[in-house]
Amino acid sequence: MSKWVYRFGDGAAEGRADMKNLLGGKGANLAEMASLGLPVPPGLTITTEVCTYYYANGRTYPDTLESEVNQAVAAIEKSVGARFGDEENPLLVSVRSGARVSMPGMMDTVLNLGLNDKTVEALAKQSDNARFAWDSYRRFIQMYSDVVLGVDHYHFEELIELHKEEKGVDLDTELDAEDWRQIAEGFKAKAQEELGYPFPQDVKEQLWGAIGAVFSSWHIERAKVYRKLNNIPEDWGTAVNVQAMVFGNMGETSATGVAFTRNPSTGDKEYYGEYLIDAQGEDVVAGIRTPQYLTKMAREEAGATAPSMEESMPAVFGQLADVFDKLERHYCDMQDIEFTVQHGKLWMLQTRSGKRTAKAALKIAVDMAAEGLIDEKTAVLRVEPGALDQLLHPTLDPDAPRDIFTRGLPASPGAASGIVVFDADTAEEMAKEGKAVILCRVETSPEDIHGMHAAKGILTARGGMTSHAAVVARGMGRPCVSGAGQLRIDAKNGVMSATGREVKAGDTITIDGASGEVMVGEVKTLQPELAGDFATLMKWADTYRKLKVRTNADTPHDTQTAREFGAEGIGLCRTEHMFFEGERIVAVREMILADDLEGRKSALAKLLPMQRSDFEEIFKIMRGLPVTIRLLDPPLHEFLPREEDEFEDVAKSIGADVEHLKRRAAELHEFNPMLGHRGCRLGITYPEIYEMQARAIFEAAITVEQKTGDTVVPEIMIPLVATRKELETLRAYVETVAEEVFTETGHRVEYLVGTMIELPRAAICADRIAVAADFFSFGTNDLTQTTIGISRDDAGRFLDQYVKQDIFAQDPFVSIDQEGVGELVKMGAERGRSTKPDLKLGICGEHGGDPASVEFCHRTGLDYVSCSPYRVPIARLAAAQAALKG
């Protein structure tokens, strides 16, 4: 028989930390903490399998669930010494959701469940604190109505505001027991008015209502959006935790808080967090009251006056610090913790691995390895490759002038400039148009996630360092400034103001998530620091990885950047970009529009020295590392003149007539250029183009070898090959040119000739093509286009829907479609090596910098991946992780 319910509490538990799949992250860790002997209020976890059952069986529960829950509740009652629904000594519980991985703010917790008109009186009497009892009851009515019954919380907030106005007070803390009683009555009436039936008084009905709401919430829209963005499978389901309440709202000796065992922003080894005295649950993150700092040091650094927990509750703070250390030693990772203090007694309500910035992830991994908590391999596995992106990008130039508009909390590092947008939908739309936007909100909620994702940065007027905006932004790697207290946002009128100035929607601002500053206009940025922890971790990564990492670069600048990021060669140097620069384009156009071979040759002769000097520079920078140069690939018409004066320039240069040139240009029109006269087809029809390029490459290689003494081994790559014959023909041209140059200069260089595998036919015929190739480079951009039959330039219109409707798990241009395109890569690799075992294999599509695709390349046995310069470190780390995961 299945077991649907697991218990925890009183120093023991049926579950464990490694049972997250069954118990959810929260439940598994509550169990683990209980077993460790930490003070955890007793409770029960209903497994994720019940969630699966619930959806598979028309939203019903397994037969035995109710009796299992009843038994577990009886155990809680016994442990606490109170009874659920008892009119003298009532047990109150929280009902908490918990998926395998935390989904911040996705499913709301209901606190103080078990209160009704009778039990609230009992609680008042028993605690001798009527204010506390009524405060708890009104919270319960509000939360339950909102989360379970669907009555929007603003109805209730309005009533509190009204009451405060009538009484002439500003703060919740100024309301007394009688006020809260009246408010609770008002809430009940409001709920009834909205619902058409009375607020439920039966505690069992309350309990099952809340349990059902947690399971149903797995399928609400914002939860789905979050799962989509974070690649969390739909079928995981959530667990439900029912736990005895402890109260942080019992007066001055009670409190509630959230903490990290290290600084999640910088990674520094210091306790970090916030707490509130006489408060409950999510008050700390809700931004209603301003939370206080945990440590004296943090308070002093911030120049805050409200006492830190270290100062106001030194004894409990000491216990909390012990718990932090114990949990870190136990989990060997930085923990994100939720706790409550009831009458001076500490209770632990949650622990999990804390989300952190890339900078913090690096520092914590390197520090923990140094502290002996983890080994180097674990350290390498601890940093998410994609997150390195945050570190590789610019920060504000400290010397650049700044026009400070306002300040907030440094909630997620990185600097970003963009235009001001006040709502998530607009942010998404503008980002789609290619605009950089900064999303500015009073505070964010899970409904804003798509806009936060689309934005370059996030600014909020409210909320602390652990607010929704801060947590989500750090997770996404977006710079964020939160809690900019002086900022007034008037979204309706498209304007925000601070210190007497206004900024309107559409104006440019810059935010610095590392300092909390918000500036008017754009501020100059600086390149990141790549020494220190970053270098240490990358060095470790390099010792474990098997894949080499090269870069896609075709300018000296990109080549230099890539080398600094650790590129071990160039995997793709596109030659066409070089054709657009300055005067060259005129010569290129001459060549294309020439009527005959002679005309083309004379234009190519002009291009030769330019190409040669391009390659010389790149070879010099790469200092003997392999450089793969792809011969001309795009359809010629991409280079054609369009404007009148462009035609005139070419006409003048070759003494031809403009009208004639226009006719030639029209002849070059293609209906589907992507499948047209491009790639090696150009080499077949106009061998002189590839011959010129080959000559430029060999001459440059020889010059650089002679000048620097470094060995240069150019790898010449022929694009868009579909047949062995194409490659053989073109290879022969290249070899002929090579011999010519070697004879002319009296100097030989080693070189390779290979091909891109970017057509399905090439992958299928890879065994035959390999006969003529020294290497293959999988061009997965074109291979994706030609395999799926979608063009990258046109896919935008439907790809979104394809991803939303789960037809594609991910954009196949971002992460390689492993079961389709990936199969062709595998086939190409296997077949290629079947005829040429030492065939060198690489990938040079955008996928080379996508961690999941890198892992795929490792498993497929490629020799290297090649990606854009900024993604080189990401690929290095991803390759190491792939190797470590085996």
* Active-site residue set: 468, 844
Tell me how far apart the terminal alpha carbons of the chain are, to the nearest angstrom: 36
For ligand ADP, which residue of 29, 45, 47, 109 counts as binding (CB under 6 A)?
109
CB of 241 to ligand ADP, least distance (A): 7
Nearer to Mg ion, 26 or 550 (CB): 26
For ligand ADP, which residue of 25, 186, 281, 464 counts as binding (CB under 6 A)?
281
Stretch touching ligand ADP by CB under 6 A, among 48-56, 244-252, 557-565, 609-617? 244-252
Nearer to ligand ADP, 244 or 509 (CB): 244
Number of residues that bind ligand ADP (CB under 6 A): 17
Give the helix ranges, DSSP H, for 145-232: 154-167, 177-195, 203-217, 221-229
Stretch touching ligand ADP by CB under 6 A, among 189-197, 239-247, 300-308, 426-434? 239-247
94 binds, among ligand ADP, Mg ion, none (CB under 5 to 8 A by kind): ligand ADP
- Kindly state the tokens that stand for 641: 């003149």
Q: Are 880 and 541 in contact (CB under 8 A)?
A: yes
CB of 71 to ligand ADP, least distance (A): 19
Pairing outcome for strands 525-526 and 457-460: unpaired
CB of 354 to ligand ADP, least distance (A): 13
CB of 367 to ligand ADP, least distance (A): 27
Rounded alpha-carbon distances, angstroms, from residue 753 to 211, 269, 697, 717, 772: 65, 53, 12, 6, 8
Does residue 340 interact with ligand ADP by CB under 6 A? yes
CB of 76 to ligand ADP, least distance (A): 10
CB of 784 to Mg ion, least distance (A): 39
Nearer to ligand ADP, 146 or 699 (CB): 146
- Kindly state the tokens that stand for 652: 């003048």
Stretch touching Mg ion by CB under 5 A, among 102-110, 189-197, 452-460, 530-538? 102-110
CB of 452 to ligand ADP, least distance (A): 18
Cα–Cα–Cα angle for 40, 45, 51, rounded to 5 degrees: 150
Stretch touching ligand ADP by CB under 6 A, among 242-250, 449-457, 715-723, 743-751? 242-250
Gap between the Cα atoms of 673 and 793, Å rounded: 12
Does residue 112 interact with ligand ADP by CB under 6 A? no
Does residue 566 interact with ligand ADP by CB under 6 A? no
**One character per residue 247-266, x = contact with ligand ADP (rule: CB under 6 A):** ---------x----------
For ligand ADP, which residue of 245, 387, 538, 572 counts as binding (CB under 6 A)?
245
CB of 853 to ligand ADP, least distance (A): 32
Stretch touching Mg ion by CB under 5 A, among 99-107, 157-165, 514-522, 745-753? 99-107
Q: Are 241 and 96 in contact (CB under 8 A)?
A: yes
Does residue 28 interact with ligand ADP by CB under 6 A? no
- Of 361, 345, 344, the closest CA to residue 353 belongs to 361
Phi, psi of 599 (to 5 degrees): -60, -45
Nearer to ligand ADP, 245 or 358 (CB): 245
Nearer to ligand ADP, 282 or 846 (CB): 282
Nearer to ligand ADP, 241 or 265 (CB): 241
Residue 20 CB-density burial (10 A; 0-12 exposed, 13-18 middle, 19+ buried): buried
Amino acid at 237: G
Does residue 243 interact with ligand ADP by CB under 6 A? yes
Does residue 29 interact with Mg ion by CB under 5 A? no
Does residue 851 interact with ligand ADP by CB under 6 A? no
Map the footprint of ligand ADP across residues 531-560, applying CB under 6 A: none
Nearer to ligand ADP, 338 or 512 (CB): 338
Amino acid at 116: N
Query: HEC string of 649-716?
Result: HHHHHHCCCHHHHHHHHHHCCCCCHHHCCCCHHHHHHCHHHHHHHHHHHHHHHHHHHHHHCCCCCEEE
Stretch touching ligand ADP by CB under 6 A, among 240-248, 328-336, 531-539, 719-727? 240-248
For ligand ADP, which residue of 146, 328, 338, 614 counts as binding (CB under 6 A)?
338
Nearer to Mg ion, 105 or 463 (CB): 105
**One character per residue 39-78, x = contact with Mg ion (rule: CB under 5 A):** ----------------------------------------
Rounded alpha-carbon distances, angstroms, from residue 268 to 348, 369, 481: 23, 14, 20
Q: Which residue has the tokens 């027991």?
A: 177
Does residue 17 interact with ligand ADP by CB under 6 A? no
Gap between the Cα atoms of 415 and 527, Å rounded: 11
Full DSSP string of 811-841 = -TTTS--TTTHHHHHHHHHHHHHHH-TT-EE
Nearer to ligand ADP, 338 or 633 (CB): 338
Does residue 466 interact with ligand ADP by CB under 6 A? no
DSSP code of 446? G
Does residue 94 interact with ligand ADP by CB under 6 A? yes
CB of 220 to ligand ADP, least distance (A): 14
Which residues pair with residue 495 across a beta bridge? Answer: 490, 504
CB of 800 to ligand ADP, least distance (A): 29
CA 672 to chain centre: 36
Nearer to ligand ADP, 101 or 795 (CB): 101
- Kindly state the tokens that stand for 484: 């900019």
- Of 69, 7, 71, the closest CA to residue 41 belongs to 7
Gap between the Cα atoms of 784 and 555, Å rounded: 26
Q: Are 494 and 503 in contact (CB under 8 A)?
A: no
Q: Are 140 and 247 in contact (CB under 8 A)?
A: no
For Mg ion, which residue of 94, 142, 350, 703 counts as binding (CB under 5 A)?
350
Q: Which residue has the tokens 């490759």?
A: 385
Gap between the Cα atoms of 571 and 28, Å rounded: 46
Gap between the Cα atoms of 481 and 407, Å rounded: 8
Map the footprint of ligand ADP across residues 30-89, applying CB under 6 A: 41
Which residues pair with residue 341 across a beta bridge? Answer: 255, 346
Which residues pair with residue 437 across a beta bridge? Answer: 419
Does residue 282 interact with ligand ADP by CB under 6 A? yes
Does residue 471 interact with ligand ADP by CB under 6 A? no
Distant-in-sequence contacts of 499-502, Cβ < 8 A, 24+ apart: 499/405, 499/406, 501/405
Q: Which residue has the tokens 């409990």?
A: 316
Q: Are 699 and 616 in contact (CB under 8 A)?
A: no
Cα–Cα–Cα angle for 325, 330, 334, rounded to 5 degrees: 60
- Kindly state the tokens that stand for 866: 């090649």
Nearer to ligand ADP, 133 or 882 (CB): 133
Does residue 349 interact with ligand ADP by CB under 6 A? yes
245 binds, among ligand ADP, Mg ion, none (CB under 5 to 8 A by kind): ligand ADP
Q: Are 503 and 496 in contact (CB under 8 A)?
A: yes
Neighbours of 750 (CB within 10 A): 10
111 binds, among ligand ADP, Mg ion, none (CB under 5 to 8 A by kind): ligand ADP
CB of 461 to Mg ion, least distance (A): 21
Nearer to Mg ion, 338 or 758 (CB): 338
- What residues make contact with ligand ADP under the rule CB under 6 A? 41, 94, 96, 105, 109, 111, 243-246, 256, 281-282, 338, 340, 349-350
User: Which residues of this chain interact with Mg ion, rule CB under 5 A?
Assistant: 105, 338, 350
